[in-house]
Structure 1
Amino acid sequence: MKRNIVIAVVTAAALVGGGTATALAVAGNDDDSTSVTRTDDDRDDRGEDRSDDRDGDDDDGAVRAAAPGDVTAAEAVTAALKHTPGTAVSAELDDGSWEVDVLAEGDTWHTVRIAPDSGKVLGAQKDDEDDAAEVRAALKGASVTAEDAAKAAAAKGTVVSVDLDDDGGDKGWEAETRASGGDARDWNVDLKTASVTPDRDDD
Structure 2
Amino acid sequence: MKRNLVIATLAAATLVGGTATAFAVAGDDDAPSREADVRVSDDSRDDDGGKDDGRDDDAASAKGAKVTAADAIAAALRHTSGTAVKAELDDDDDDVPVWEVDVFGQDQKRYSVHVDPATGKVLTSHIDQDDDDDSDDARELAAARGASVSAEAAARAVAGAHGTVTSVEVDDDGTGRGWDVDSVVGGTEREWRVDFGSGSVSADRTSDNHVSDDRDDRGSDDHDDRGSDD
Q: Into which bin does the TM-score normalised by the smaller protein fall?
A: 0.5 to 0.7
Structure 1 residues 76 and 168: CA distance shift in structure 2, 3 A: same
TM-aligned CA deviation for residue 66 of structure 1: 6.8
Identify the residue that residue 170 of structure 1 maps to in structure 2: 176
Identify the residue that residue 79 of structure 1 maps to in structure 2: 75
TM-aligned CA deviation for residue 67 of structure 1: 4.0
Secondary structure (helix, strand or coil) at the match of 1:132 reads helix
The separation in 2 between residues aligned to 1:85 and 1:135, in whole angstroms, is 17
CA offsets 1:90-124 (integer angstroms, 9 cap, x no match):
10000101000001123200000000010001111
Structure 1 residues 151 and 68: CA distance shift in structure 2, 3 A: farther
Unpaired segments ≥5 residues, structure 1:
1-62
Residues 101 and 110, structure 1, Cα contact 8 Å, conserved in 2: yes
TM-aligned CA deviation for residue 168 of structure 1: 1.8
Q: What letter matches 2:191 in structure 1?
A: D
Identify the residue that residue 103 of structure 1 maps to in structure 2: 104
Secondary structure (helix, strand or coil) at the match of 2:173 reads coil
TM-aligned CA deviation for residue 170 of structure 1: 1.4
Unpaired segments ≥5 residues, structure 2:
1-58, 92-96, 210-230
CA offsets 1:124-144 (integer angstroms, 9 cap, x no match):
110135233212332354210
Identify the residue that residue 152 of structure 1 maps to in structure 2: 157
TM score, norm. by length of structure 1: 0.64
The separation in 2 between residues aligned to 1:198 and 1:120, in whole angstroms, is 32
TM score, norm. by length of structure 2: 0.57
Larger Rg: 1
CA offsets 1:128-179 (integer angstroms, 9 cap, x no match):
3523321233235421000000000102000000011122241210000001
CA-atom RMSD in angstroms: 1.9
Identify the residue that residue 205 of structure 2 maps to in structure 1: 200
The separation in 2 between residues aligned to 1:125 and 1:68, in whole angstroms, is 25
Residues 85 and 141, structure 2, Cα contact 8 Å, conserved in 1: no
Residues 79 and 114, structure 1, Cα contact 8 Å, conserved in 2: yes
The separation in 2 between residues aligned to 1:160 and 1:135, in whole angstroms, is 19
Structure 1 residues 65 and 193: CA distance shift in structure 2, 3 A: closer
TM-aligned CA deviation for residue 87 of structure 1: 0.3
Secondary structure (helix, strand or coil) at the match of 1:90 reads strand
2:95 corresponds to 1:90: no
Taking the TM superposition and a 5 Å limit, the aligned residue runs for 1:1-203 are 67-95=63-91, 96-128=97-129, 130=134, 131-154=136-159, 155-179=161-185, 181-202=186-207, 203=209
Residues 66 and 97, structure 1, Cα contact 8 Å, conserved in 2: no
The separation in 1 between residues aligned to 2:121 and 2:165, in whole angstroms, is 19
**Identity rate, percent:** 49
The separation in 2 between residues aligned to 1:116 and 1:94, in whole angstroms, is 10
Q: What letter matches 2:117 in structure 1?
A: P
